[in-house]
Amino acid sequence: MDYRQLSDPNAEYTMRDLSAETMGLSASRGPRDVEITDVQTTVVEGNYPWTLVRVYTDAGLVGNGESYWGAGEQEIIERVAPFIEGENPLDIDRLYEHLVQKLSGEGSISGKAISAISGIELALHDVAGKILEVPAYQLLGGKYRDEMRIYCDCHTEDEADPDACADEAERVVEELGYDALKFDLDVPSGHEKDRANRHLRGPEIEHKAEIVEKVTERVGDRADAAFDCHWSFSTGSAHRLAERLEEYDVWWLEDPVPPENHDVQREVTQRTTTPITAGENVYRDHGNRRLLQEQAVDIIAPDVPRVGGMRQSRKIADLADLYYIPVAMHNVSSPIGTMASIHVGAAIPNALAVEYHSYELGWWSDLVEEDIIHEGYAEVPEKPGLGVTLDLDAVSDHLAEGETLFDEA
């Protein structure tokens, strides 16, 4: 099916069409008069199926972006590409709002519609930086730091073994040079009675506490250690787990309860001294508003290629800063999405770290020509745009089955 040819029922009567033609944007920009000519996607099969996005212009410059992984984004991007073809890619904020409005009837308050738009938005930052010859962080207001701290999401062959987790923590610190780590706590303990009810029995909580104890004691003050629950537990179980972990040096406990009910999230956060983090499953600044205004998190964790893109992440960080809440960006992306998060982290005052989830994937860094992460830190590029160059040969080598490579510039 050609999704570019889907009918647009809203086109005939919408009152909020933000296209350049409707808005009457006709003033000459001189050498900055550039038009988008095409939008293409391809999927790389990494430890996640990464959806890469490419925006083409009549200036011969292309921008690379990335949508959150999984199914659906490609079709949505194909569907919206005609809405921005002929537009000036420098109008990032207007084009983002234009796409949100165009997809409003199809659900652009969250989900796949927003992550698809996010991929285009990242690519617009890349190509806009190339047109203006400035790094992407400059488009977000400048930078606070020259390098961004990276935290390593760690895994072992037996993730339920506290000793194996502690051994891997020490290896990542000593051999790979990271001073920030994360481990999963939603792992089988052998004490489960029912996997559906979200309830944690006492032995299960003790098993999770043992993982935390052994990891934090092993790394000591050489590294910060966070722990992820992936929205797995009931309110009462989350309370009990967070309270049990208060005696340990936990950087944060992530997503202990499902993401839909912000009232429960607030209650869990405010009843414990264990720092609580959430945000990767929340969309746009509107979706994050209550979490921040009601101080329902100690740390907010937006995912840049999912939440709405780089400018939305900046807006969320600004709102978080009003409540003195730091930002730790969730990230399971290829080097493209990772670098977008690094630019956001450089541009906001309250950035803690950016996640890296592919340390076990030997070819992750091969997808771009530049080195990104060195001993737990990433230098913020000064090259135009995102500052990384896709290696199309490497991308081609790792395409998902049935995928074709997008065009060169």
Domain boundaries along the sequence of the chain: 3-134, 140-383
Q: What is the pLDDT of residue 320?
A: 98
Topology at the third CATH level for domain 3-134: Enolase-like; domain 1 (3.30.390)
Q: Which CATH number fits domain 140-383: 3.20.20.120, 3.40.50.920, 3.30.420.40, 3.10.180.10?
A: 3.20.20.120
The stretches in the chain having pLDDT less than 50 are none
Query: What does each C-alpha distance from 198 to 192, 230, 243, 280, 337 come to in angstroms?
Result: 10, 12, 17, 20, 32
| Tokens representing residue 3 in the block | 């999704």
Are 128 and 139 in contact, with CB atoms under 8 Å apart?
Answer: yes
Q: What is the pLDDT of residue 13?
A: 67
pTM: 0.96
| 328-332-336 Cα angle (round to 5) | 95
Of the candidates 91, 82, 85, 81, which has an alpha carbon nearest to the alpha carbon of residue 29? 91
Q: Which segments of 140-191 does DSSP mark as H helices, in order?
A: 162-174
Q: What is the pLDDT of residue 141?
A: 97
Are 359 and 324 in contact, with CB atoms under 8 Å apart?
Answer: no
